Amino acid sequence: MTNITSALLSLQDLRFAGMGPVQLELHAGEVVQIAGASGAGKSLLLRAIADLDRNTGRVALEGRPREDFPPSRWRRQVGYLPAEPAWWADTVGAHLERVDPAWLQALGFPATVTDWGVDRLSSGERQRLALVRLLALGPRVLLLDEPTANLDPENTRRVETLVRDYLASHHAAALWVSHDAAQRQRLGGTPRYMESGRFVPAPADAASPAAQASLNAG
Ligand SMILES: Nc1ncnc2c1ncn2[C@@H]1O[C@H](COP(=O)(O)OP(=O)(O)OP(=O)(O)O)[C@@H](O)[C@H]1O
């Protein structure tokens, strides 16, 4: 699945909110995990890639510069899932017009979830349904900001499996912010560490309990 010659998403000298520069190549099928203490700039990086905040540098999808895309099309192709997703209509179904029912089932929801009112959703239900809402747009790149932060272990695994399946079936890739070292090991790949808005070499004891505590404390 991974193509080492042409990147799906490439970032060159990306700068945002006084942070960066960030360089990155993300290939189809790949999950690049981003770790780092609170305030390191992880969310701002994802927002800059989605072009939601002011930023400079070169960002391209399959070699095509971001400037070539109308902003709305860019954000469908490079989909950002915030840590606290917003909802605008009354019912779940109003947000999920073209959703694959199998995705709802994969995340543990009954088919009737589309009739549920948004105001009854728990934070974990909101997080899972926002992921489904994002996938329904068919993005090539997923920018996932702690997508399992509010979830129990079973639902965390469900989200990990659904994202993995989506990446494989859609030749897509994900940038996944996670504070959880065990999750990073399950997802595989090489984690990238952020500090003061830049990628830095991984701490020598990155997977140790002490390093985990320090990441969580931040
Ligand atoms: N518009 C902005 N301009 C400048 N600095 C900002 C702006 N928005 C947020 N910040 C600051 O930039 C830093 C990075 O914020 P960011 O939300 O990216 O952190 P994070 O690594 O995602 O942290 P967490 O793990 O707590 O979510 C924080 O210190 C934050 O206060």
- What's 184's domain CATH number? 3.40.50.300
Q: Is the pLDDT of residue 2 over 50?
A: no
Residue with tokens 């109003």: 94
Average pLDDT over residues 34-51: 96
Contacts of 62 (CB under 8 A, 6+ apart): 6, 7, 8, 140
- Is 149's C-beta closer than 6 angstroms to any atom of ligand 1? no
Ligand 1 centroid to Cα of residue 112, in Å, is 37
Paired tokens of 191 = 């984690």
What pLDDT digit, counting tens, does each position of 104-152 carry?
999 999 999 999 999 999 999 999 999 999 999 999 999 999 999 989 9
Q: What confidence category does residue 175 fall into, taking pLDDT thresholds of 50, 70 and 90?
A: very high
4 is a domain residue:
no
CA of 110 to the centre of ligand 1 (A): 36
Residue 180 forms part of a structural domain: yes
The pTM is what?
Answer: 0.91
Determine how many CB atoms are found less than 10 A away from the CB of residue 111: 9
Query: What total number of domains does the chain contain?
Result: 1
Is 2 inside any structural domain? no
Nearest-CA residue for ligand 1 atom 19 is: 39
- Of all protein residues, whose CA lies closest to atom 30 belonging to ligand 1? 39
Check whether 215 has a pLDDT greater than 90. no
pLDDT higher than threshold 50 for residue 3: no
Q: Output the CA 41–ligand 1 centroid distance in Å.
A: 5
| Residue among 33, 43, 44 to mutate when testing ligand 1 (max atoms within 8 A of CB) | 44
The pLDDT value recorded for residue 205 is 63
Per-residue pLDDT tens over the stretch 184-208: 889 887 789 999 999 999 877 665 4
- Residue 183 placed within a domain: yes
Please, which residues have CB within 8 angstroms of residue 169's CB and are 6 or more apart in sequence?
none
Nearest residue (by CA) to ligand 1, atom 29, is 39
Whether ligand 1 lies within 6 angstroms of the CB of 39 is answered as yes
* Residue 114 pLDDT: 93
Domain membership of residue 101 (yes or no) is yes
Instruction: Give the distance (Å) from ligand 1 centre to CA of residue 190.
Output: 23
179 falls in which pLDDT band (50, 70, 90)?
confident
Q: Is 167 left (phi over 0), alpha (psi -120 to 50) or beta?
A: alpha
Give 91 Cα–ligand 1 centroid separation in angstroms.
31
Contact 184 CB / ligand 1 (< 6 Å)? no
Q: Where are the beta strands (DSSP E) in 42-157?
A: 55-61, 64-65, 78-81, 141-145
pLDDT, residue 211, reads: 47
Indicate whether 1 belongs to any domain. Answer: no
Domain residue limits at 36: 9-217
Quote the mean pLDDT of the chain.
90
pLDDT in tens, 74-99: 999 999 999 999 999 999 999 987 88
> Within 10 Å of residue 39's Cβ, how many Cβ atoms?
13
Q: Is residue 160 part of a domain?
A: yes
40 lines ligand 1 (CB under 6 A): yes
